[in-house]
């Protein structure tokens, strides 16, 4: 994937901006994953929680998330 960098910005400034954008993407995906999982009744599934961990930290907390899911998604008791 090619990323167009803003003209007139230094390389470090461009890198910082890109990191901020990716952190925002992770924050948004955290909300989407949580909402969909809750709607599907599998919010408490361990694999969902691991995905949420990675998204909330915007880094690989769990390096073995994929392939996903590790176990069938089903309704988990709350």
d(CA 26, CA 46): 19
| Segments making up each domain of the chain, as ranges | 22-78
Q: For residues 26 and 30, what is the distance between their CA atoms, to the nearest angstrom?
A: 6
pLDDT in tens, 64-75: 999 999 999 887
What is the full DSSP assignment across 37-52? HHHHT-TT-HHHHHHH
Say how far apart CA 38 and CA 75 lie, in whole Å. Answer: 10
Residue 6, token pair as written in the block = 């803003």
> pTM here?
0.81
* pLDDT digits 0-9 by tens, 20-41: 999 999 999 999 999 999 999 9
Q: Cβ distance 17 to 6 under 8 Å? A: yes
């Amino acid at each position: 994937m090619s990323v167009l960098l803003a003209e007139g910005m230094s390389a470090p400034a461009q890198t910082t901006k890109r990191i901020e954008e990716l952190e925002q993407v992770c924050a948004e995906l955290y909300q989407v994953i949580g909402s969909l999982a809750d709607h599907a009744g599998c919010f408490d599934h361990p694999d969902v929680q691991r995905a949420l961990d990675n998204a909330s930290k915007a880094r690989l907390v769990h390096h073995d998330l994929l392939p996903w899911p590790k176990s069938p998604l089903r309704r988990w008791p709350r």
